[in-house]
Amino acid sequence: MRRASTGRPALRLLNTPLEREDPAPLVSFCSHCGSRPGPEAAPALSRVCATCGLGLILESRADVAPAAGDAFLVLDRSLAVCAVSHGAEHLLATSEPDAVNRHVTDLLMPAGAEDTGGHSLAMAVAWAARGDGGTRTTVVRPANAFGIRLTARIASCGPPRAALVVLE
Amino acid sequence: MRYLKTSEAAALLNVSPNTLRAWERRFGFPKPQRSPGKHRLFTHGEVAALRDALQEGLSISSAISRAREGLAADANSLVGALASYERERADAAIEAALALRSVERSVEEVLLPTLDEIARRYTVESAAWAFAAHWGSDWLRRAMRLTPPPVRQVSIVLGDASRDELDRDAPYIRALELFCVRAGVKVLSLSARGVAGIGDAAAVHRPNLVVVAGGHLDDDTVARWAYAIRLAVGAMPLAIYRRGAERPRVRATGTTVLPPGAGDAQRTLLELLESDQIATASASAAAAELRAQGRIARSHR
């Protein structure tokens, strides 16, 4: 927004970040341990992680994809939990078999009362699970825990299409 | 029913046998049975359902959840068939369950939960329960007739203390009977009401253990029946099954209370029978040793 010669604010059309940036390459990661299968590895016959055996290999943008040991969740478009990483199990004091199919708000809540509109956790997850490109960042807290603020990077992942929430 | 060894199931899922065992520990699925040599035997249906779910899943947990939902559909379709009084559809539903599971697991995971659901939804006074209980009892008896003859040298006498086939405990008692017969145990099932001539029956059958099952008959009636058995064949271990934990007991010394699930009860019974056999075998070994020592002592004299 800039001021016109009259002094009144005027809107200006800007490129969205997605139009401006080159699309980030896709990388694979395990939905449980977060480790990435090396490029030299032979094409796997199954999607099961060869490192931990407890997760499936998913793909996401390289700038969002978690590193090994990171805390992250995978959610579907109905905001149900589909995967909980080993790091997130420790961070949120839960286990993946218990958390799967529960609503995201059973595990995470928006940390700021002022979070509204497109910045809210639910909307960001719904957008990412729909397959919208780009990364959204919001601040969350573990459900039923106050005073803990975690930055959540939310982007699309898959297949099948889902939302990846990386907690920092 | 097709079973897969651990290596075969792992190959079908394209994972290592260790990964499959890790899934069993962490998720309890796929749940194998054990061969007589204690090796894991996975049902092909469960492994195939998991393989399909893994193609579409976002995690192992979600794939397992989806595979379980698919398998639970059998129970839902059986409830629907019985609630609408359709015998053929009920037969087809339990046949579909048998395609994915063993007889024991089909009974434990589909048939008995279905009957419980019908009783809960419509009450045991309803026509739906009468139809379902009759169908369940009939199916369990048919399954028992198809079981090969017993191979173990052990037998039990089962005193049925339930009211009739409309009793909620009756399907569990029939299921326990079926599981024991399928495990190779000789089972003589008698009503706990009938005392006349019980001595002859017990003498012919020579049981290793007596089970009193069902909670309808009062303790005095059941005690008279158990006493008649004892008079005929002497003292022997007694187990009670689904007699109602809340029922106050005057004396239950030496009695084993079996868990309410038919599968758990069968396993406990087999352990009891094995320990009884071991005790009998060690007693006879000790007696033989004493006899041998006696012979040696006589020869020295």
What does the radius of gyration of chain B's CA atoms come to, in whole angstroms?
A: 23
pLDDT tens-digit map of B8-21: 999 988 888 999 99
* Domains of chain A, residue spans: 63-167
Could you give the percent of chain B with pLDDT greater than 90?
16
What are residue B209's DSSP bridge partners?
A: B156
Q: What distance lies between CA B46 and its chain's CA centroid?
A: 21
Tokens of B62: 């979600």
Closest by CA to B6, choosing from B47, B53, B36, B61, is B47
- Cβ contact A55–B22 (<8 Å): no
Contacts with A55 from chain B: Cβ below 8 Å: 59-60
Of B22, B58, B62, the CB nearest to A54: B22
- The tens digit of pLDDT for each residue in B248-288 reads 454 555 688 888 888 889 988 888 888 765 555 545 545 55
Tell me the C-alpha distance between A71 and B187, whole Å.
56
The answer, for B47 touching chain A at a CB cutoff of 8 Å, is no
A74 closest CB neighbour out of B14, B59, B65: B59
Question: Which helix (H) or strand (E) segment is A13 a member of?
Answer: none
Report CA torsion sign: A69, A72, A76, A82.
positive
pLDDT in tens, A47-86: 888 888 888 888 888 888 888 889 999 998 888 999 999 9
∠ CA A139-A143-A147, rounded to 5°: 60
A56 vs B16, B60, B65: nearest CB: B60
From residue A4, how far is each of A1, A7, A14, A15, B22 by CA, in Å?
Answer: 9, 5, 16, 20, 67
Secondary structure class of A159 (helix, strand, coil):
coil
Look at B27 and A162 and tell me if their CB atoms are within 8 Å: no
Residues A75/A104, Cβ–Cβ less than 8 Å: yes
Give A-chain residues touching B9 at CB under 8 angstroms. none
- Local structure of B157: helix, strand or coil: strand
Non-local (6+) Cβ contacts of B70 within 8 A are B49, B53
Mean pLDDT of A133-153: 85
User: With bands split at pLDDT 50, 70 and 90, how would you rate the model's confidence at B48?
Assistant: confident
- The pLDDT value recorded for residue A11 is 65
Look up residue B30 and give its two tokens.
Answer: 């796929």
**Within a 10 A sphere around the Cβ of B256, how many other Cβ atoms?**
17
SS3 B108: helix
Strands B209-213 and B238-241: parallel
Nearest CA in chain A to B52: A46
Nearest Cα residue in chain A from B29:
A97
Cis peptide before A66 (omega within 30 of 0): no
H-state helical runs in chain A: 17-20, 86-92, 96-99, 121-130
- The per-residue pLDDT for range B108-160, each reduced to its tens digit, is 888 999 999 899 888 888 999 999 999 999 999 999 888 888 777 788 989 89
Q: How far is the alpha carbon of A131 from chain B, nearest alpha carbon, in Å?
A: 15
- Asked if A101 reaches chain B (Cβ–Cβ under 8 Å), the answer is yes
User: Does A48 sit within 8 Å of B62, measured CB to CB?
Assistant: no
Are B22 and A47 inside 8 Å of each other by CB?
A: no
Per-residue pLDDT of A34-50, as tens digits, reads 888 876 555 556 788 88
What is this structure's pTM?
Answer: 0.59
Among B61, B64, B65, B66, the residue to mutate for chain A (most A Cβ within 10 A): B61
Query: A101: closest CA among A74, A122, A80, A125?
Result: A80
pLDDT tier for residue A21 given thresholds of 50, 70 and 90: low
- Dihedral sign for Cα atoms in the order B285, B288, B293, B299: negative
Distance from CA of B258 to the nearest CA of A (A): 30
pLDDT tens column, B60-91: 988 898 888 877 777 778 888 898 888 888 99
Contact criterion met (CB < 8 Å) for A74 and B58: yes
Span of A118-127, B27-36, B185-194, B230-239 with lowest mean pLDDT:
A118-127
Q: What is the pLDDT of residue A118?
A: 45
Interface test with B, best of A33, A45, A75, A82 (most B CBs within 10 A): A82
Q: Do B62 and A58 touch (CB under 8 A)?
A: no
Query: Looking at residues A146-166, what average pLDDT do you find?
Result: 87
CA distance A106 to A128: 19
> Is B60 within 8 Å of A162 when comparing Cβ atoms?
no
User: Which residues, 6+ apart, have CB-to-CB distance to B78 below 8 Å?
Assistant: B90, B93, B94, B97, B110, B111, B114
Give which of B14, B29, B52, B62 to mutate to test A binding, by max A Cβ within 10 Å. Answer: B62
Interface contact A118, partner B, CB < 8 A: no
- Looking at residue B250, its pLDDT comes to 44
User: Across chain A, where does the E strand assignment appear?
Assistant: 2-3, 9-10, 26-30, 57-61, 71-75, 81-84, 108-110, 136-142, 150-158, 162-167
Asked if A58 has any chain B CB less than 8 Å from its own CB, the reply is: yes
Query: Which CATH superfamily includes the segment(s) A63-167?
Result: PAS domain (3.30.450.20)
